[in-house]
Amino acid sequence: MKLLEHLARTLLLAVIGQQAQAYTYFTCAGGSQMDFNSGHMTFNYADNLSADQKAAISLGHARLTEFSDSSITTVDNGDSDYSSGNGENEIYLDAAVGTASCTYWFNPSTCTVIEADMQYGNQPWTTTDDSQHYPYATGRSMTGTAVHEGGHCIGMAHTNNLYNMMGVEYSYVTRQGTDTYYGPGEDLSDGLIDLHGERSGGLDTYRDVGATVMRYAGFSGEYSLHSFGLLRDYFGNVKPVVGSYVGQNTYQVAAGEAVLMEVTLENNGEADVENPLVGFYLSDNDNISAADTFIAEIPVTLGRDAPLEALVGLSIPQGTAPGNYFLGVYVDHGNLIAETTVANNVGYYPVSVVSSAPGVTTFIATDILAWSATFNSLVNPRGLSTTVYYDYGTTTSYGSTVTHGNIGAGTSLVSAPTGVSGLDCETTYYYRARAQNSSGTALGAPVSFTTAACPPGCM
C-alpha cells in the first residue's frame, strides 16, 4: 500500500516586491523539488465547465508555459466522474472551494506527484479579456486564475515579497484601452525556466517585456498584495483624485506641471537581460500608442529576476488644453525587441488637465566668475501668484536650490535673474528654473555653464 500525503493549496491573487529570486518551488522534506512530471502535466476537462471557461483556462495555461520547457495539456473528454483522489488529473468547477485550488497528492519517498486537480470555486467567473473583472469590476478573470493555478500544478509555490503572479493574481494585470492581459510575469517565467529550462533550449527566441501601473503593496500571509500606483507632484505629494475611469482613479494635473509617475517594468521572456527604451505619452484616449503626444523616453535594464518599480519624473505638455487624458507608459515603444506579445507593454493613469501651471524657460547664465554666476529665466505666472526657484549642481540631479522669490500673478513674461555665490572655480554646473503656483510646478530645461579659472594660488 503506497503511503500518500495530501496537500491542498487554495489560491488567491497577489503582487511581488524586490528580491534576488522572485519565485518559490514546492518542495518535499529535506528540500527536494517536487516533481510534477518534469513540468509536463495533462488534465481532463470536466463536463461541468462551459466552452468559454475551457477556452479561458487553456489561454491561461498557454501564456504560463510560453517561455519555459513546460506544458499543460488539456483533454476535453467530457469527464463526468471527476473528484479528488481518483487517480486522474482533472480540472472542474467545485462550489466547495472558496476561490481556486491546485490539490495534489505525492509519494514522499520519491517527491513525485501522483495526482493533481485544479478546482475553480464559487466565484463570479469572467472569461473575457476586457475590464469586467477585479481589480476594475466585480468579476474574476478565469484566464488570470488559470495562470496562477497552473503555476502551482507544475511546481511553483506562492511568493509574498514583490509584485508577482504567484501572489494575489487578480491584481497582477496590465491594461491597454479596456483590454486586460494576464501573463506569467517575471516570477513564473524565471522560476519555470530555472526549474524546467528555456522553451527554445537556450536560444532566447521567446522574449517579452511588460509595463503596468500596478505595484507591490505588502503581503497577507504567503500572498503578495498589489494596488494601483500613484501619480504624485514634484514634491512627492499624491495628486488630487477628481474621479475614476473603469475602476482606476483619475488625477488632476495642470498643463506644464512636473509630475512623478509610478510604473512597474518586467522582463518576462527567455533573455536574461533586456534593454528596452520606455516611452511616455499623453493620449486623448485609453489606447496608448506612438502616435500620441510624446513626452519623454528613458532606457532601462531589466534582468529576469525581480520587477523594476520605477518613479519617473515627467512634465505635462505646456500647451495641453483642459480636458480628460491618459498619461501612459509604453515599454519598447520603438518595437526593437521581437516580443511574443505586445498586449502587456502599456499602462496608464487617467488624468484631468486643468488651467496651466506657470510657463518657464531657463536661459544661459551670465556674470560668470570663479565662484559666482547669475541664473536667468523668463516665467509666465499665467494669472496665478508664482514663486521662482533655481535648482543647481554639478550633475542634472542638482542637489542645491536658490530662491528668486514671488513674481506676482500677471499673464506676461517676467525676467527672474538671481545671483548665486559659493560655487567652485573651474567647475561645470547644471541649473534649471522651477516655477510654482497653485496649479502646479513647472520646470525649465537644464542649462550648463563652467565657472572661471581658479585664481593663482587657489586650490
SS3 string, 279-313, reads EEEEECCCCCCCCCEEEEEEECCEECCCCEEEEEE
pLDDT given for residue 76 in this prediction = 97
Residue 375 CB contacts under 8 Å (≥ 6 apart), including other chains: 362, 365, 390, 392, 402, 417, 418, 419, 420, 431, 433
- pLDDT at residue 459, as a whole number: 62
pLDDT number for residue 355: 85
Residue 334: count other Cβ atoms within 10 Å of its Cβ. 12
Alpha-carbon gap, residue 150 to 102, rounded angstroms: 8
Domains and CATH numbers, the chain: 5-199 (3.40.390.10), 225-354 (2.60.40.10), 359-450 (2.60.40.10)
Angle (CA) 296-353-253 rounded to 5° is 70
Residue 209 corresponds to which amino acid?
Answer: V
pTM attached to this predicted model: 0.86
Res 20: pLDDT: 39
> Which residue numbers in the chain have pLDDT < 70?
1-21, 459
CA-to-CA distance for 344 and 335, rounded, in angstroms? 13
What is the rounded CA–CA span in Å between residue 432 and residue 392? 7
Place of cell 512634465: 315
How high is the pLDDT of residue 3?
Answer: 24
Contact yes or no for 375/420 (Cβ under 8 A): yes
pLDDT reported for residue 356: 87
* pLDDT computed for residue 21 by the predictor: 58
Query: Residue 1's pLDDT is what?
Result: 21
Q: What is the pLDDT of residue 375?
A: 98
Which pLDDT value is given to residue 457? 76
